[in-house]
A and B are shown apart, each in its own frame.
Chain A
């Protein structure tokens, strides 16, 4: 083992965490917003809303994320004639893809709120959208928190896929250093450890939020 290779390249490698974090923030934030809209739309009674959105969700859930990234980065420019920089391509790919997954969590969360709540909201004079916004979603979001956190950790890990289109995020930098220094064992164990610490922190926060929720409910 040669830990020195990590020390020597630490500034370069850790520099990539900034980009990893940026990607994750955009992907989780954007994915969540779009996911809530899609999740609500999937429970809509309007066929023009329900069917296209269901198709969207089934479409993206049937494709590998990697392929969606390729589509956005290499092929959409061929179609539109306009180029997309790799950061934008990665972020858009993450958002449209992860929104499909978030929407399923949101849908299940909304369904878990009892029907009586919706009726109470409607009968107190709120419109359907207002009921959703002020009555259903606040309750639903609370029950969704654990799944949302779990999936956010997954997205954080998925940002490593941006590697394929040349974004120099954390894992790509590890990879570049390895190609130069040929210290695969040390470098990949180290990469795993860094992800493990960060993701465990995320998972742990999720568990605490979950416990807090339960206490509040009781």
Chain B
């Protein structure tokens, strides 16, 4: 063996039925990560707010959430959602779940990835919120806004702009972590590359293609977000280099 004896056959990337599978795999990776990301943002902001607001039980809940998720591997969460979580339901409930959600693995993946990423997003928001000068809070309260309004109109938009670079990194982590959903059978691009390999033994080609997909998307996101950061950065803040 060796590369010299390896017969490249790049046509596995487009010839039927594999071409269709590759495209579908790319789409699955993209929409799975995007839906999970949406979930992560909403939950993450919520928990970030919980951790910085004055109500104690809320703060405790937020801290516990972050601690639990940060100290357990993502794979365990994925397995939990796929294998274990449905067992909490009674048997008829489980049956109903599998019948109404035919693609259960996909949604287990979304739930696992979203909730896991949320803990990381929450930490970013918390540090963002707490780096906002206290004067901002006071000024907002003084102008007659209530707590919800203070967060909605002042703190969250402000915090968002502060932590945009790290949020981009978290998105990329979420996007890359989506590959792990293959362990519960989701046909995203890594799994597809691997699956086609078991029929054709041209995993070298399919995995190269999958790698390029990840790199292209990651680098595009970094480039675009770099532009966005320039636009929304808050005057007077020290800008992060490179």
Contacts and interface: CB of A to CB of B under 8 A. Distances in A.
B3 A79 contact: yes
30 contacts: A59-B215, A61-B172, A63-B211, A64-B180, A64-B214, A65-B176, A66-B182, A71-B211, A74-B197, A78-B203, A78-B204, A79-B6, A79-B204, A80-B2, A81-B2, A153-B71, A157-B73, A157-B74, A158-B73, A160-B75, A161-B75, A163-B183, A171-B76, A171-B79, A184-B79, A184-B84, A187-B84, A192-B68, A195-B71, A199-B70
Contact-residue bracket for chain A:
35 or more
Given A79-B2, A199-B71, A203-B71, A191 B190 contact: no
Nearest to A172: B75
A161 B84 CA distance: 19
B24 interface: no
Contacts of A75: 203-204, 207
Nearest to A187: B84
Interface in A68-110: 70-71, 74-75, 77-81
Interface of B: 1-3, 5-6, 67-68, 70-77, 79-80, 83-84, 87-88, 172, 176-180, 182-183, 190, 194, 197, 203-204, 207, 210-211, 214-215, 218-219
Given A62-B218, A184-B87, A67 B190 contact: yes
A67 B188 CA distance: 12
B82 to A, nearest CB: 9
Which of B72, B177, B210 has the largest number of chain A CB atoms within 10 A? Answer: B72
B22 to A, nearest CB: 15
A214 interface: no
Nearest to B1: A81
A175 B73 CA distance: 14
A64 B179 contact: yes
Contacts of A175: 79
A164 interface: yes
Interface of A: 58-59, 61-67, 70-71, 74-75, 77-81, 153, 157-158, 160-161, 163-164, 171, 175, 178, 184-185, 187-189, 191-192, 195-196, 199-200, 203
Given A163-B75, A178-B83, A58 B219 contact: yes
Contacts of A187: 84
A185 B2 contact: no
B6 A78 contact: yes
A188 B3 contact: no
B76 A64 contact: no
Nearest to A171: B75
Contacts of A74: 197, 203, 207
Given A79-B204, A199-B72, A64 B3 contact: no
B187 to A, nearest CB: 15
Contacts of B76: 160, 171, 188, 191-192, 195
Given A62-B219, A67-B214, A160-B73, 15 more contacts: A63-B211, A63-B214, A67-B190, A70-B203, A78-B3, A78-B203, A80-B2, A81-B1, A158-B73, A184-B79, A184-B83, A188-B79, A188-B80, A199-B71, A200-B71
Contacts of B172: 61-62
The 3 closest A-B pairs by CB, nearest first: A81-B2, A62-B218, A199-B71
A190 to B, nearest CB: 10
A200 B64 CA distance: 12
B122 to A, nearest CB: 15
A71 B214 contact: no
Nearest to A153: B71
A107 to B, nearest CB: 9
A66 B214 CA distance: 12
Contacts of A58: 219
B68 A67 contact: no
